[in-house]
A = this chain, B = another copy of it.
Amino acid sequence: MLIGMPAFAPMADAVRLPPQTTVNRLHAMFEARFQTFEDANQRAASPARVAALRAELARRGLDGFVVPRADRHQGEYAPADEERLTWITGFTGSAGIAIVLTASAVIFVDGRYVLQVRDQVDTSLFAVEHLVDNPPDKWLGANLPAGARLGYDPWLHTADDAERLAKACGAAGATLVPVGENPLDAVWTDRPLPPLGPVTVRPEELAGESSADKLARVQAEIAKLKADALIVSDPHNVAWTFNIRGSDVAHTPLPLSFAHVPREGRASLFIDARKLSNETRDYLETLGDVREPAAFEDALTALGAAKANVRVDSATAADAISRLIGTAGGTVVRGIDPITQLKAVKNAAEIDGMRAAHLRDGAAVANFLAWFDREAPTGTLTEIDAVAALETFRRETGQLKEVSFPTISGAGPNGAIVHYRVTRATNRKIAPNELFLLDSGAQYEDGTTDITRTIAVGTPTAEMRDRFTRVLKGHIAIARAVFPEGATGAQLDSFARRFLWDAGIDFDHGTGHGVGSYLSVHEGPASISKRGTTAALKRGMILSNEPGYYKTGAFGIRIENLELVTAATIEAAEKPMNAFETLTLAPIDRRVIEPGLMTADEIAWLDAYHARVAQALGPLVAADTRAWLEAATKPLQ
């Protein structure tokens, strides 16, 4: 009640769904185009591949080689030609690293992938180790022979990672050796070509700021850092700076590319020219020099030769970047890329776009939820059916570009697997009297969404209701939080956990992450997490609010909305205060709430949120969904 809620103007024309979007239809009409449900399993080829790699290493005088799951940008999603870890081991998880020595080989995965790795990887070829409990540096100390030369590709490791590996090799009396050409690539005969996703220019009415103005702000930041230049190694930051989008990897519309921004003068963009139309190229050349990726190494060497002081991003810049600058005589200063901070603060046009995207997405989600409530009680729906239906409702907006990540669709016990991805092998019927957890998002040209709802099928147990209500109370505590300018997400994280702690339970992930504007659904530098990010929550940042609870083998609960950091309007405030405005618009399942556990303030928040959802989405959906929506958003008591 202390927080000013902005006047709400539904963009009805832009958002209204086509008339065919009705809940009443056949399953066969649904299709998921943006994610697959296949289990990758390339185990059969592994022995020959490992043998070929070992022969190549022998030719080069190396006793081993490190194969991380990484591309040259340390990206969350890597293109197919960078999936070396999968090619050599068969493992498809999102985090892992392998080391192939002459007589032994090992793959490291974290707790999430302990089961999957044994399904996918030939354990007679690769020992399996825990990435956290027995990490590569520890393993190298015990397994690398003194005098050995361990190769690594400096384009696939950050400088920090390479230093850690070098230290471990040194402790074992061995040497870490950077390779020029990657030896795995030399034997990967059927390697896919790099992606050539066409690049589009983001219209300025969506970007809200010209690229020329952004470049000027970036250069001011470079001056503040007393650096001569910035190397932009994160393609998200390249995309933001130049107002371009691409389609080189799944789920995030980024063009793989590097950039060099000098403190003064013209920037350089290193990008494959085949991705650019003449029009896009002309646009980019007004901003800087457009150069081929092959020229990037020479540009780094030239910076070094000019004795430049160069800022590189410690999180995404490859060790090779620091080496090329440093070897040529330049000074490398590792730290956060200042663009990461600029990009996180959305301007008015980006915020408007995010609001429009959430209105559109909310209508699609409401259609899905109405359909789900009608179909699920039959007990025939599966997790994959839900993914396909949700994607279809989103696609029927006519504006869906992609899903912003593979949907997490977990029924019953699968909902308790935090990073669950449904495959045909794991696909589960959504059974009555279970909870169904659905975490999904969309990429629209005006914005990126990310929403989780936990839905009751049939009658939830008292335990489910208790847990769901505690998660909801934590969610509301974040949504209603008021906090001073300069506060970090770490200072808010416990608000989401308090009601779980009171019951002796918790959840084992962060409460929230930053979200991009038609860019990555995971964006830094701010987060809501106990692990100390020092990044303040600034007005214009957008973060997820997603507390949960997971009972292994039984059920999972998560409630996620996106929140915009805004100024809080408080009478007689002594300092600038901030608060959240909730962007996500979709009902929260009232059937799993235990009203007796809620305070009057919490109920008031929920009822007001639901009234807002009904008012915003009602005009945008067909009659069957509207009827469902009215029931789903009724006041709690």
Name the residue among A487, A488, A501, A599 with the largest chain B CB count within 10 angstroms.
Answer: A501
Complex interface: chain B residues within 8 A of A506 (CB): 484, 574-575
Name the residue among A491, A568, A575 with the largest chain B CB count within 10 angstroms.
Answer: A491
**Bound form: Cα–Cα A495–B483 in Å:** 12
A312-355 contacts to B (CB < 8 Å) = none
Given contacts A491-B494, A532-B532, A599-B599, contact A573 B483 (CB under 8 A): no
**Bound form: Cα–Cα A572–B503 in Å:** 8
Complex interface: chain B residues within 8 A of A599 (CB): 599
**Bound form: Cα–Cα A596–B143 in Å:** 67
Complex interface: chain B residues within 8 A of A2 (CB): 502-503
Complex interface: chain B residues within 8 A of A571 (CB): 504
A234 within 8 A of B: no
Complex interface: chain B residues within 8 A of A577 (CB): 501, 504
A430-487 contacts to B (CB < 8 Å) = 481-484, 487
Name A501's contact: one of B484, B493, B530 (CB within 8 Å): B484
A608 within 8 A of B: no
Minimum distance in angstroms from A388 CB to a CB of chain B:
35
A498 within 8 A of B: yes
**Bound form: Cα–Cα A624–B481 in Å:** 46
**Bound form: Cα–Cα A599–B573 in Å:** 23
Number of interface residues of A (CB under 8 A): 31
Binary CB contact string for chain A from 575 to 594 against chain B (1 if under 8 A, 0 otherwise): 10100000000000000000
Complex interface: chain B residues within 8 A of A498 (CB): 481, 495
Minimum distance in angstroms from A461 CB to a CB of chain B:
14
Complex interface: chain B residues within 8 A of A488 (CB): 530
A570 within 8 A of B: yes
A505 within 8 A of B: yes
B573–A491 touching, CB < 8 Å: no
Name the residue among A498, A502, A505 with the largest chain B CB count within 10 angstroms.
Answer: A502
A267 within 8 A of B: no
Name A491's contact: one of B505, B530, B568, B570 (CB within 8 Å): B530
**Bound form: Cα–Cα A570–B532 in Å:** 28
Name A570's contact: one of B490, B503, B572 (CB within 8 Å): B503
A230 within 8 A of B: no
Q: Which residue of B lies closest to A2 (CB)?
A: B502
A239 within 8 A of B: no
B494–A482 touching, CB < 8 Å: no
Q: Which residue of B lies closest to A503 (CB)?
A: B570
Name A483's contact: one of B487, B501, B505, B575 (CB within 8 Å): B501
Q: Which residue of B lies closest to A488 (CB)?
A: B530
**Bound form: Cα–Cα A574–B501 in Å:** 10
B505–A482 touching, CB < 8 Å: no
Name A494's contact: one of B495, B503, B568 (CB within 8 Å): B495
Minimum distance in angstroms from A340 CB to a CB of chain B:
21
A492 within 8 A of B: yes
**Bound form: Cα–Cα A488–B502 in Å:** 16
Given contacts A494-B491, A599-B599, contact A568 B504 (CB under 8 A): yes
**Bound form: Cα–Cα A494–B577 in Å:** 14
Minimum distance in angstroms from A556 CB to a CB of chain B:
14
Minimum distance in angstroms from A547 CB to a CB of chain B:
14
Minimum distance in angstroms from A476 CB to a CB of chain B:
13
**Bound form: Cα–Cα A495–B498 in Å:** 9
**Bound form: Cα–Cα A493–B484 in Å:** 14
Minimum distance in angstroms from A554 CB to a CB of chain B:
12
Minimum distance in angstroms from A255 CB to a CB of chain B:
37
Complex interface: chain B residues within 8 A of A482 (CB): 501-502, 504
A476-535 contacts to B (CB < 8 Å) = 481-484, 487-488, 490-495, 498, 501-506, 530, 532
Complex interface: chain B residues within 8 A of A484 (CB): 501, 506
**Bound form: Cα–Cα A494–B530 in Å:** 12
B493–A573 touching, CB < 8 Å: no
**Bound form: Cα–Cα A261–B589 in Å:** 61
**Bound form: Cα–Cα A571–B487 in Å:** 35
**Bound form: Cα–Cα A138–B291 in Å:** 42
Complex interface: chain B residues within 8 A of A505 (CB): 573-575
Q: Which residue of B lies closest to A570 (CB)?
A: B504
**Bound form: Cα–Cα A227–B481 in Å:** 46
Complex interface: chain B residues within 8 A of A570 (CB): 502-504
**Bound form: Cα–Cα A577–B497 in Å:** 13
Complex interface: chain B residues within 8 A of A575 (CB): 504-506
Name A574's contact: one of B492, B504, B532, B572 (CB within 8 Å): B504
Complex interface: chain B residues within 8 A of A573 (CB): 503-505
**Bound form: Cα–Cα A498–B496 in Å:** 13
Q: Which residue of B lies closest to A578 (CB)?
A: B501
Minimum distance in angstroms from A27 CB to a CB of chain B:
38
Q: Which residue of B lies closest to A549 (CB)?
A: B574
Given contacts A501-B483, A501-B577, A575-B504, contact A490 B532 (CB under 8 A): yes
Complex interface: chain B residues within 8 A of A494 (CB): 483, 491-492, 494-495
Minimum distance in angstroms from A293 CB to a CB of chain B:
39
Question: Nearest 3 CB-CB pairs, A to B?
Answer: A504-B573, A504-B570, A532-B532
A-B contact pairs, 12 of them (CB 8 A): A482-B501, A482-B502, A482-B504, A484-B506, A488-B530, A490-B530, A491-B493, A491-B530, A494-B494, A502-B570, A504-B570, A504-B571
Q: A482-B504, A494-B494 are in contact. List 16 more A-B contacts (CB 8 A).
A: A481-B498, A482-B501, A484-B506, A488-B530, A490-B530, A490-B532, A491-B494, A492-B494, A501-B577, A503-B572, A504-B572, A504-B575, A504-B577, A505-B574, A532-B532, A599-B599
